[in-house]
Amino acid sequence: MILSLEGLTVQFPTRRGTLTAVDDVSFAIAPGEILGVVGESGAGKSITGMAVIRLLEPPGRIAGGEVRLEGRRIDNLPHEEMRRVRGRKIGVVFQDPLTSLNPLYTVGQQLVETITTHLPLSRAQARERAISLLQEVGIPGAQARLDHYPHQFSGGMRQRVVIALAIAAEPVLIIADEPTTALDVSIQAQIIALLKRLAQGRGTAVMLITHDMGVIAETSHRVAVMYAGRIVEIGPVRDVIHAPRHPYTVGLMGSIPRIVSSRTRSRLTQIDGAMPRLNAIPRGCAFNPRCPRRFERCLVERPALLSAGASQSACWLHAPAAA
Amino acid sequence: MPLLRLESVSRDFDVSRPWLNRVIEGAPRRMLRAVDAVDLEVRRGETLALVGESGCGKSTVARLIVGLYAPTEGRVEFRGRRMQMIFQDPYASLNPRWRVRDIVAEPIRILDPEKKSSVKRRVSELLVQVGLSADDGDKYPHEFSGGQRQRISIARALAGEPDLLVCDEPTSALDVSVQAQILNLMTELQRRLGLTYVFISHNLAVVSQVADRVGVMYLGRVVELAAAAELFSRPRHPYTRMLLDAVPDLQMSGKARTPVAGEVPNPLDPPTGCAFHPRCPHADERCRRERPSPVDAVACHAVEEGRI
């Protein structure tokens, strides 16, 4: 396993009490595997990603659990050492390419800096490598584009540059947080294809964080669905999409509009209410106030992930009947 | 008789360098044509959706319809009583210092001052109609989630009793489960109140869920206009086909997809002839030279000549 999380918990101590943003999250990603992490705003998916790279905004802190990269614990590394791991072993792609790029330096300067920091190459060699990276991510005229500034690129091209930066030091893991959300649908399809190609070709593990089930369906091998800080369902992407087990996943899938080409249009399934705020997570299962299938046990006891077909689902509906 | 008609409406924006630069450096005036000779008709009671990628001019059309922009050329004709607009960002479109009941009452106070005495009852009615409770009127916008705020925007829009609602990406800022709630609400309100919608969106799946007719825009022009069922089952313009191909496939049918190539060109320097020709797999010499006019509601030489 490239990345494995065991019981990761992230808390934000505030004056009005401690908020648990990520609660006992465990999963693992194999080489070449793309794990989709999906959820609505506030589900804790981005914070999980930031916890792995240890870039949580204070006062957020890892309050429990372990993060292992290639078997080695990284959640307790000293800052300086973590900084090297982050650059060398983990590449990161954020939603807005402009936050990852320095507007005052050319794309080439930024690539060369990243490469020479992490790999034993001369500047000339690094420049050669920068050109081949830009070619690999599909930027036409790579040689000339090296001397351009970020503002001279279009949105889609900028995201390609960010991906080139993320893979510059040949990381074993890429964390992509909503990499296509800011892009138009035709550009989005290109970036999805690129991410898939890279994971396959280089055997890189990818943690793909997104709210868009369509993007997950196109790219991921497995998917973890998050709700109120916890994983409520995790399994192979086909199973989760075609046969969701958790009532939240069922509602989520039903609420996604699909292209219908017939005249008969059906109402979208809707989950009433909204995700609870972190300071008001209900007792028992966090989803119970919105759940159409809740029963008594859901109100008092919080379900752990239970086996449900090829997936695991944190729902008492899947508890063995004997229990 | 359509409720709303746009007759070859165009809108230019002045994007010239500042005056001093023009004088000293001799920089020329530059105009950006955001909307280019758009013809549209909206019939009473229908939902007309405009769809396209960023920069295609769909939001500018929305603003031209409600009069936030004046057309540079052409005319907008409205035969209804009133229109209202619903914006994308429910955080920016509600005044944070006003209580919800004042926000919802404002259109009544301004447009129908004679109904002043019944404002309070009407506001409660409106809040209940959009799925909030009458007591919510005492609260401030920050006490609500994004979806609830969009409900408040809808209540405010309905307060003026409009026959036309222009909705500019009304669900794009919302989570998908909340989006479903709002889309269902809008459909219900339309049925109950006989509303007409102009629905602007970049999301084809959302459009297919709500629209009766769809106009596809590219670089300021409507390149295809068709009944929704028709457009989604038999797209004709190569750009419409490309857009539909690019939508992620939730069914995971594994169907082969035509890879999408290229990006939307810079509107300051639009391509000659058909604006889509640099990305079009069917482009020929005529497409590079001559701009296609809509024939049977599709602006494409290849379709017109029966090549595709």
A258: confidence class by pLDDT, cuts 50, 70, 90: confident
**pLDDT given at position A322:** 44
pLDDT for residue A262 is more than 70: no
- pLDDT value of residue B253: 62
Query: Is the link from the previous residue into A59 a cis peptide, with omega within 30 of 0?
Result: yes
pLDDT of residue B252: 67
pLDDT in tens, A33-88: 999 999 998 899 999 999 999 999 999 999 999 999 999 999 999 999 999 899 89
What does B134-192 look like in DSSP terms, one character per residue? GGGGGS-GGGS-HHHHHHHHHHHHHHT--SEEEEESTTTTS-HHHHHHHHHHHHHHHHH
The answer to whether residue A263 scores a pLDDT higher than 90 is no
Nearest CB among A186, A259, A263 relative to B53 is that of: A186
Residues of chain A numbered 235-294 and touching chain B (CB < 8 Å): 237-238, 241-242, 251-252, 254-263, 265, 267-272, 274-275
Q: What are the pLDDT digits (tens) for A189-210?
A: 888 888 898 889 989 999 999 9
Alpha helices in chain B (DSSP H): 19-25, 58-66, 100-111, 119-129, 146-159, 176-193, 204-210, 228-233, 238-246, 285-289, 301-304
Nearest Cβ partner for A41 among B175, B180, B205: B175
For A252, phi and psi rounded to 5 degrees? -60, -45
Q: What is the ipTM of this complex?
A: 0.84
**B263–A218 C-beta distance less than 8 A:** no
Packing angle, helices A79-89 and A107-118, rounded to 10: 120
CA B64 centroid distance within chain: 11
Residue A193's pLDDT is 87
Residue A169, amino acid: A
Cβ <8 Å between A270 and B181: yes
Predicted pLDDT at B258: 62
Q: Which residues contact A26 (CB under 8 A, 6 or more apart)?
A: A4, A5, A6, A7, A8, A65, A231
Dist. CA A60–CA B167, nearest whole Å: 38
Q: Would you state the pLDDT for residue B55?
A: 84
Mean pLDDT of chain A: 92
Contact A252 B177 (CB under 8 A): yes
Q: Which of B41, B52, B14, B36 shows the shortest CA–CA distance to B198?
A: B41
What b-and-e string marks burial along B34-48, b requiring 16 or more CB atoms within 10 Å of the CB?
Answer: bbbbbebbbeeebbb
Residue whose structure tokens are 């649908």: A185
pLDDT in tens, A129-146: 999 999 989 888 899 999
Q: What percent of chain A has pLDDT over 70?
A: 98
Output b/e per residue, A244-261; b: 16+ Cβ within 10 A: bbbbbbbbbbbbbbbbbe
CA-wise closest residue to B268 among B14, B32, B18, B13: B32
Q: Check pLDDT > 90 for residue A277.
A: no
Distance CA B241, CA B303 (A): 12
Residues 254-283 of B with CB under 8 A from A: 257, 259-260, 263-264
Asked if the model's pLDDT at residue A323 lies above 60, the reply is: no
Q: Find the mean pLDDT for residues A103-132.
A: 95
Of A40, A237, A238, which is closest to B176 when you measure between CB atoms?
A: A40
The per-residue DSSP string of A26-87 comes to EEEE-TT-EEEEE--TTSSHHHHHHHHTT-PPTT-EEEEEEEEETTEE-TT--HHHHHHHHH
**Could you read off the pLDDT tens digit of each residue along chain B, which spans 308 residues?**
899 999 999 999 998 888 898 899 888 888 999 999 999 999 999 999 999 988 899 999 999 999 999 999 999 999 999 999 999 888 899 999 999 999 999 999 999 998 888 999 999 999 999 999 999 999 999 999 889 999 999 999 999 999 999 999 999 888 898 999 999 999 999 999 999 999 999 999 999 999 999 999 999 999 999 999 999 999 999 999 999 988 887 876 665 566 667 778 888 888 999 999 999 999 999 999 999 999 999 999 999 999 98
pLDDT at A320: 83
